[in-house]
Amino acid sequence: MNKLLIIAVMVTLLALSAESSRMPRQAVEEERGTMTKITDSIRSYYDDSITTANGYIESIKGMKMEEKAMNMFEETSKAVSTYATILQDQLYHYFVNREQ
């Protein structure tokens, strides 16, 4: 019973000290205002970057660069896959012959 009483008193004192160390409500609202400003500026930068990227994409579409870029991508991927297959074959034969 004494232990329970001591624990109850300790919890009460802890609760009272936690209550007295709370920040005033005005300071909390100021922090929220700062966070809102930071969030708004980040959103603004993000929106500006998206708008700029969309503008670049539209200018590329206007110059018919999309087809050229697609053709270049296809040719590059064919060449890379060919050389990757050759490299894979060479490595396979190197390790197989090394074991023997």
Q: What does the pLDDT read at residue 24?
A: 58
Whether the Cβ atoms of residue 66 and residue 60 lie closer than 8 Å to each other? yes
Q: Mapping DSSP to helix (H, G, I), strand (E, B) and coil, where does residue 3 land?
A: helix
Tokens for 4, please give them.
């329970």
Q: Mapping DSSP to helix (H, G, I), strand (E, B) and coil, where does residue 30 land?
A: helix
C-alpha to C-alpha distance for 45 and 56, rounded to whole angstroms? 17
Tokens for 75, please give them.
């040719």
State pLDDT tens for residues 24-60. 555 555 556 777 787 788 888 888 888 888 887 777 7
C-alpha to C-alpha distance for 100 and 95, rounded to whole angstroms? 9
Q: What does the pLDDT read at residue 10?
A: 72
